[in-house]
């Protein structure tokens, strides 16, 4: 557990989950360049303890302060209360110029609320995403709407997201179109050397002359019958397409453990791996023909690389990829998933004019965020 004095550190970057670290890492580094490393603090809640630490280690980052709130078997309310209490204790002692949160996690929502209650300015990266269904995704749709109510600056990843915030009555001066720092993280990670594990998997699949698909599954709202139907579709699709292999990084929350065991575990063309690192996932994604996912970040990364994505959810907040023909919303019903997978299987990967398709960002969003924070901060020493 880390405990350091936060005196003099005027920009607090909050992380609670692995996606938080991935998308906040470029922002943290850009802010360190802009303000000086001694002025920027990385605050962790510990919402996803193991995955948070894994991501921090990968990027060689160290928390300045760790709330360490996660307890085995704890409820969302218990988690929320622990984050609020932990942030309250921090904010009693120090007041940053900005508290920067990301996305729609419980950590981001509760830290934002604590900041608001203590008159601390909150900046929200990845602001303005909406599914307009409070149960899908749950609780993320409610979290991001709460953050939008209290944030002082809104960093929108797309024009759609910016227009949502403006339509909700937020002052245009507080809504900035920056792109999503998650694409920055993808760019930076793909520039790193490939790991031995991802190289072994890729070379084995290439040696067997198989096409590769990436599967991720973890959403609470899909657990149970929805996940079972979805995985039955995967099983049937693999039977019909013997030239296909799947890589499946198993999420620690084990929402898909039973259907994965029932439908995929015995198939030698399914590579089930416990918690691949972000870098391993990115390097394998880059050589995939398509992805099947209920994740938000994977939708963005696949679109950036021009890879068709089957989105196994009832609703998505990343409508841009669907309109661009890079993703299809399939739900979890077996027949609908099969139909969408056939579409993805038959759809060739779309090459971008530049390195990435710019739907969600060009890979340099964090610098824009740091510039905006600097232009709206008090001069050092005041």
- As averages over each run of 10 residues, the pLDDT of the chain (382 residues) reads 70 95 97 96 91 87 93 89 96 93 97 97 98 93 98 98 98 98 96 92 92 88 84 96 93 74 92 87 95 94 97 94 96 95 95 88 97 85 42
**CA 235 to CA 248: how far, in whole Å?**
13
Which is catalytic among the residues 145, 199, 220, 349? Answer: 220
Buried b or exposed e, range 230-266, using 16+ CB within 10 angstroms: bbbbbbbbbeebeebbbbbbbbeeebbeebbeebbee
Give the other-Cβ count within 10 Å of 105's Cβ: 26
Residue 106 CA to its chain's centroid (Å): 13
Per the listing, tokens 């609703």 go with: 315
Rounded to the nearest 5 degrees, what angle is found at the Cα of 357, between the Cα atoms of 360 and 165?
20
CA-to-CA dists, residue 303 to 141, 323, 326, angstroms: 21, 11, 6
**CA 179 to CA 226: how far, in whole Å?**
32
* 78 labelled catalytic: no
* 220 labelled catalytic: yes
* Residues belonging to the chain: 382
- Cβ-proximal residues to 1 (8 Å cutoff; 6+ apart), any chain: 66, 68
**CA 357 to CA 278: how far, in whole Å?**
20
**Strand, helix or coil at 308?**
coil
CATH of 11-179+363-375, one of 3.40.50.2000, 3.30.390.30, 3.40.30.10, 3.40.309.10: 3.40.50.2000
Sign of the CA dihedral 295, 301, 303, 307? negative
Which is catalytic among the residues 20, 97, 126, 221? Answer: 126
* 154 labelled catalytic: no
**Strand, helix or coil at 297?**
helix
Rounded to the nearest 5 degrees, what angle is found at the Cα of 294, between the Cα atoms of 100 and 128?
35
Q: Which of 176, 221, 165, 102 is nearest to 376 (CA)?
A: 176
Which is catalytic among the residues 48, 49, 251, 313? Answer: 251
Q: Which two tokens stand for residue 5?
A: 């004095």
pLDDT at 353: 77
- Cβ-proximal residues to 209 (8 Å cutoff; 6+ apart), any chain: 243
β strands within 113-252, DSSP E: 122-125, 153-156, 175-177, 211-216, 244-250
pLDDT at 372: 97
Which is catalytic among the residues 18, 49, 202, 218? Answer: 218
Which is catalytic among the residues 20, 66, 97, 104? Answer: 104
pLDDT at 49: 83
* 218 labelled catalytic: yes
For residue 327, give the DSSP letter: E
Question: Where are the domain boundaries for CATH 3.40.50.2000 in the chain?
Answer: 11-179+363-375, 195-346
- Cβ-proximal residues to 362 (8 Å cutoff; 6+ apart), any chain: 179, 183, 354, 356
**CA 359 to CA 158: how far, in whole Å?**
7
CATH of 195-346, one of 3.40.140.10, 3.40.50.2000, 3.40.50.150, 3.40.50.9100: 3.40.50.2000
User: What is the model's pTM?
Assistant: 0.93
**CA 67 to CA 213: how far, in whole Å?**
37
Which is catalytic among the residues 20, 66, 140, 300? Answer: 140
Q: Which of 288, 58, 176 is nearest to 303 (CA)?
A: 288
């Amino acid at each position: 557990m880390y405990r350091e004095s936060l005196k003099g550190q005027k920009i607090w970057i909050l992380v609670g989950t692995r996606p938080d670290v991935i998308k906040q890492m470029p922002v943290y580094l850009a802010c360190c360049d802009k303000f000086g490393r001694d002025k920027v603090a990385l605050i962790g809640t510990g919402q996803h303890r193991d995955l948070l630490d894994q991501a921090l280690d990968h990027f060689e980052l160290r928390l300045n302060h760790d709330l360490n709130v996660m307890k085995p078997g704890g409820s969302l309310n218990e988690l929320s209360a622990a984050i609020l209490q932990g942030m309250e204790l921090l904010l009693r002692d120090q007041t940053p110029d900005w508290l920067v949160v990301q996305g729609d996690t419980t950590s981001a929502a509760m830290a934002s609320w604590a900041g608001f209650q203590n008159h601390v300015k909150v900046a929200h990266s990845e602001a303005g995403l909406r599914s307009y269904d409070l149960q899908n995704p749950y609780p993320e749709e409610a979290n991001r709407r709460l953050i939008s109510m209290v944030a002082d600056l809104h960093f929108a990843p797309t024009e759609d997201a910016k227009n949502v915030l403006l339509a909700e009555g937020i002052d245009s001066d507080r809504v900035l179109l920056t792109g999503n720092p998650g694409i920055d993280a993808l760019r930076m990670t793909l520039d790193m050397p490939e790991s031995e594990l991802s190289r072994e998997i890729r070379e084995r699949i290439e040696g067997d002359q198989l096409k590769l698909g990436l599967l991720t599954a973890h959403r609470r709202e899909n657990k149970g019958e929805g996940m079972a139907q979805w995985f039955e579709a995967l099983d049937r699709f693999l039977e019909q397409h013997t030239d296909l292999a799947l890589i499946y990084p198993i999420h620690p929350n084990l929402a898909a453990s039973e259907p994965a065991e029932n439908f995929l575990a015995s198939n030698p063309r399914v590579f089930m791996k416990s918690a691949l690192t972000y870098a391993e996932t990115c390097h394998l994604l880059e050589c995939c023909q398509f992805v099947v996912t209920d994740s938000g970040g994977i939708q963005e990364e696949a679109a950036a690389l021009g890879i068709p994505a089957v989105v196994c959810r009832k609703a998505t907040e990343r409508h841009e990829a669907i309109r661009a023909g890079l993703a299809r919303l399939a739900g979890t019903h077996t027949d609908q998933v099969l139909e969408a997978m056939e579409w993805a299987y038959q759809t060739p990967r779309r090459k971008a004019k530049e390195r990435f398709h710019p739907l969600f960002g060009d890979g340099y969003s964090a610098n824009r965020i740091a510039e905006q924070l600097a232009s709206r901060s008090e001069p050092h020493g005041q």
